[in-house]
Copies of this chain bind each other. A is one copy, B any other.
Amino acid sequence: MNTTPGAASPASASTPIRVGIVGYGNLGRGVEAAIAKNADMSLAGIFTRRPSASITPIDPSASVFTIDALTEHENDIDVLILCGGSKTDLPVQGPELAARFNTVDSFDTHARIPEYFETVDAAARRAQTTALISTGWDPGMFSLNRLFGEALLPDGDTYTFWGRGLSQGHSDAVRRVDGVADAVQYTLPSQKAVDAVRSGTRPVLTTRQKHTRECFVVLEEGADADAVREAIVAMPHYFADYDTTVTFITADELARDHSAMPHGGFVLRSGLTGQDHAQIIEYSLALESNPEFTASVLVAYARAVHRLSQQNQHGAFTVLDVPPGLLSPKSPAQLRAELL
């Protein structure tokens, strides 16, 4: 069907989608790696606020520019992937760059998504660009699964569990405690709570029952271990509502055992159909690299954004608005034959 949203233009199969990366931390590096895994995409350049010579891309031949150079590359870029942080970078860059480029970002401050959407939407509509916000895995794939869960099983409850995974925000909070030289924090789903949900009993779970927190801390010389432990476990918002364990380790142990960035989690929907038939839907991720997986999601949505833009669908979008077929390099006919 010619007007199907999933219909790719024939050109997209032959001309690579030119993707620019803005910001080159763990996420930007992950995006560079993910572009290399997609034959229909090419890296148009890495744009950074740092001196461009200070960046060492994975591919030594990749072009690195300062962010000001974006102006000169407006005609060389189909989609920009914004890899900055949600706290200070994206609230400024999101609307600013959506006014000049098609964009994809991973804005993940859940409570602020509605206002961020409005700001980016206004910029993108004025400029007739296409901007997909807040993708990745949560928000992103987990959001999609929360939506499918409640739409398919309206008589039900949704449960999201995270972990086992490294939480950057909680690690930073521990590092700010007096006497802490360095630290990492892992979030763990409680196996007992997960099992209760999987059993179909639809339990009501408190914050404390759903997750536990594990901190590995390197003390500053002369710091009081008990005082540090107490300051961590009693910290409001971050730890007070959880059962938290604190383990003191050396800087060498931290470097050796805790430099990976695993994460993951589950979205479960437990519902009833008919009189009393229990139905359980579970979506789970087990990720050895959180930033590389998030980057892979951003890159697949960059393909969708390029196609939406070619269909003159402008403004801000979220994963909830995008026909899934647009994520694949395959044609709708090929997808029907191979995947349905």
B292 touches A287 (CB 8 A): no
CB < 8 Å neighbour of A6 from B1, B153, B321? B321
Residues of B within 8 A of A281 (CB): 141, 283-285
Name the distance in Å between A329's Cβ and chain B's nearest Cβ. Answer: 8
Kindly report which residue of chain B lies nearest to residue A312, judged by CB atoms: B3
Name the distance in Å between A139's Cβ and chain B's nearest Cβ. Answer: 4
A313 at interface, CB cutoff 8 A? yes
A127 at interface, CB cutoff 8 A? no
Q: Within the assembled complex, what's the spacing in Å between the Cα atoms of A208 and B115? A: 53
Kindly report which residue of chain B lies nearest to residue A278, judged by CB atoms: B288
CB contacts under 8 Å to B, within A155-200, are: 155, 198, 200
Q: With contacts A273-B30, A321-B332, A325-B321 known, is A287 near B279, CB below 8 A?
A: yes
A254 at interface, CB cutoff 8 A? no
A336 at interface, CB cutoff 8 A? yes
A297 at interface, CB cutoff 8 A? yes
B273 touches A325 (CB 8 A): no
A152 at interface, CB cutoff 8 A? yes
A147 touches B5 (CB 8 A): no
Q: Within the assembled complex, what's the spacing in Å between the Cα atoms of A274 and B36? A: 9
CB contacts under 8 Å to B, within A277-311, are: 277-289, 292-293, 295-297, 300, 303
A335 at interface, CB cutoff 8 A? yes
A286 touches B279 (CB 8 A): yes
A317 at interface, CB cutoff 8 A? yes
Q: Within the assembled complex, what's the spacing in Å between the Cα atoms of A147 and B141? A: 13
A139 touches B1 (CB 8 A): no
A4 at interface, CB cutoff 8 A? yes
Kindly report which residue of chain B lies nearest to residue A273, judged by CB atoms: B292
A321 touches B283 (CB 8 A): no
Q: With contacts A4-B317, A316-B1, A320-B6 known, is A146 near B278, CB below 8 A?
A: no
Residues of B within 8 A of A300 (CB): 151-152
A105 at interface, CB cutoff 8 A? no
B33 touches A273 (CB 8 A): yes
Kindly report which residue of chain B lies nearest to residue A286, judged by CB atoms: B280
A49 at interface, CB cutoff 8 A? no
B1 touches A337 (CB 8 A): no
A144 at interface, CB cutoff 8 A? yes
B325 touches A323 (CB 8 A): no
A150 at interface, CB cutoff 8 A? yes
Residues of B within 8 A of A113 (CB): 336-337, 340
Residues of B within 8 A of A319 (CB): 324, 340
Kindly report which residue of chain B lies nearest to residue A300, judged by CB atoms: B151
CB < 8 Å neighbour of A289 from B5, B155, B273, B288? B273
B273 touches A147 (CB 8 A): no
Residues of B within 8 A of A313 (CB): 3, 5
Name the distance in Å between A168's Cβ and chain B's nearest Cβ. Answer: 17
7 other contacts beyond A152-B327, A282-B284, with CB at 8 A cut-off? A1-B317, A4-B317, A37-B155, A113-B337, A147-B335, A279-B293, A321-B325
